[in-house]
Homo-oligomer: A and B are copies of this chain.
Amino acid sequence: MPNLSERIKNMQASPIRKLAPLAEKAKKEGKKVYHLNIGQPDIETPQIFYDTIKSFNNPVLAYTGSQGIPELINSYIRYYKEWNIDFEEDEIIVTNGGSEAILFALMAVCDYGDNIVIPEPFYTNYNGFSQIAGVNVSPFLTKAEDGFHLPKKEEIVKAINDKTKAILISNPGNPTGVVYTKDEIRLIADIAKEYDLYIIADEVYREFVYDNLEYTSFMHMKDILDRVILVDSISKRYSACGARIGLIASKNKELMKNVLKLAQSRLCSPTIEQIGAAKLIETPKEYLEKVKEEYQRRRDVVYEALSKIEGVICKKPTGAFYVIAKLPIKDAEDFVKWLLTDYSVDNETIMLAPADGFYATEGLGKDEVRISYCINIDALKKAMNIFEKGLIEYKKQKGC
């Protein structure tokens, strides 16, 4: 039998999903498991999405154009206007979720062996897309102690070399929950200019910024717009992950003309989901407001619980629905497994994501976990109680 490719063998299994069998086993044994490991919102998808697809009555479920349906593209244009971001029709291409948008962005600016600079820890699938695109990840470190804000410029530019084509950055950050300040966005923009790089801006959590903080998009940096490739998605914003509808957008029309060739090769994004997504723009503003308030309350529950626990290092996150906590233990993955296999409170336990899978640098993140707060407040309180008691018990048992 011929070998499989090196690139597929070298891909890591999802750190978020790889421990799923242990959770399944716990459930089979009758334990309730609170999932703090996945970013699947529990908020209801706006009804207008379902109403729209229910009234779809074309006799033939045909391909759409590769760029996406005009109604959806125009709804995106209207959406961005509210954020003071101007796009024209030929500057947006609909993608199969934010996932495909990231892959297209990497393909468009990198050849095999090129690299991209990313602050670590970062969204683990950036590794997968890089592997698929044959691109290397050159990370620079951000730390729990700093709330995962950017380090000094000299630390960032150390990661850049002559093979670097872009800086990939998510803001608000998954898995850190950081929201970069305007000065930080400006710093990255200046570095991109100085080193002649693209910026791949993953802004899928734009609507999830708490404490009335100001949000700065890379699309607000007017002097570098031809360098910015925006990656976005309706998945989190409208709690519609299963629609797999995202977009790639850029004011750099030459780039978008080329990305369209990638889009043509896979024909189109799903038709019915595009039609439903195009109507989401009509969702009342209160929907997004209420969702944000709900997540902010959850963030408070998680952060308060964490800040009470001795030895846990964690600054208050201000965006997305994740937090990374540094724990006073050596092996966070062992702790995560132990919670599923050996521990429970009233026959309930929790599942976390070990954070080392979010780092590119071997050995980092071993004492950290990512907590996702996509469950309701009551469940979250119980889950964080299990977290606290479990950590104390684990330390006692392991003698640390």
Residues of A at the B interface (CB closer than 8 Å) are 1-2, 4-9, 11-14, 17, 40-45, 49-50, 53-54, 56-57, 59-64, 66, 96-97, 99-100, 103, 107-112, 114, 125, 128-129, 131-132, 134, 165, 196-198, 226-227, 239-244, 252, 254-255, 258-259, 261-262, 264-273
Q: Could you show 5 A-B contacts with beta carbons less than 8 Å apart?
A: A1-B226, A14-B66, A45-B59, A96-B96, A241-B267
Contact partners of A255 in chain B: CB under 8 A: 4
Shortest CB–CB separation between residue A45 and chain B, in angstroms? 4
Contact partners of A125 in chain B: CB under 8 A: 264-267
Contact partners of A197 in chain B: CB under 8 A: 2
A12 to B264 alpha-carbon distance, docked (Å): 10
**Most chain B Cβ neighbours within 10 Å, of A41, A134, A264:** A264
What would 18 more interface pairs be, CB under 8 Å, given A44-B60, A100-B266, A273-B273?
A: A2-B196, A2-B198, A4-B108, A5-B111, A7-B112, A8-B262, A11-B261, A14-B66, A44-B59, A60-B239, A61-B240, A61-B241, A63-B241, A96-B266, A97-B266, A125-B267, A131-B265, A134-B134
Given A53-B272, A110-B5: A97 and B267 interface contact (C-beta under 8 Å): yes
Residue of B nearest to A198 (CB): B2
Cβ contact within 8 Å between A66 and B17:
yes
A112 to B111 alpha-carbon distance, docked (Å): 11
Given A45-B61, A132-B262: A269 and B252 interface contact (C-beta under 8 Å): no
Cβ contact within 8 Å between A242 and B272:
yes
Given A99-B266, A128-B265: A40 and B13 interface contact (C-beta under 8 Å): no
Cβ contact within 8 Å between A62 and B242:
yes
Cβ contact within 8 Å between B270 and A244:
yes
Cβ contact within 8 Å between B239 and A4:
no
Shortest CB–CB separation between residue A378 and chain B, in angstroms? 18
A338 to B240 alpha-carbon distance, docked (Å): 46
